[in-house]
Amino acid sequence: MKTNPHIYAVILAGGGGTRLWPKSRTKTPKQFLKLAGDKTMIQIAADRVAKIVDWDKIIVVTNQLYSEDVQRQLPKVPQENILAEPEKKDTALAMLVGALFAKSKDPNAVVINAASDHTLLDDEEFVRVMYAATKTATDQDALLTVGITPTYPTSAFGYIK
């Protein structure tokens, strides 16, 4: 059901894995671990967004430490779509880099930002919500944020109001 040829997915994969220590470490952050089955978190994330976009429209923003791991784990993603930051910055900058890259390929690009290390229990719901969000973003020329309702307060994550 890949209907909009202008949709791109940016997978954010530069995190250092500090929140899941000791299992996740600098050399093997959680996005490269098999925590939920026989695939790594980044492979699961890529398979999920590949239900919405073709593999050549998946962009991965990572850092130099992990670019070879991304290539090895996601061979269907074109090498030129793996963007390696020279040093770790923050999420907003990674999203901007991914969006600018998508816009350089397609001035009408609509970008979905996806984490490489999140567990979602319902891929069909994710796909449904992303289609609705990208349609709204396209029809209304709008910026949308999609999130979940938190189950407990913590200062470790951002909140959407």
How is 40-108 classified by DSSP, letter by letter?
-HHHHHHHHHTTTS-GGGEEEEEEGGGHHHHHHH-TTS-GGGEEEESS---HHHHHHHHHHHHHHH-TT
- Rounded distance, CA 48 to CA 126, Å? 8
Residue in 82, 71, 75 with CA at minimum distance from that of residue 11 = 82
User: What are the tokens at 61?
Assistant: 């923003």
- Reported pTM: 0.89
- Rounded to an integer, what distance in angstroms lies between the CA atom of residue 125 and that of residue 30? 24
**DSSP-assigned beta bridge partners for residue 59:** 10
pLDDT band (50, 70, 90) for residue 90? confident
The encoded tokens of residue 2 equal: 């890949």
104-140: pLDDT as tens digits: 999 999 999 998 888 888 999 999 999 999 999 999 9
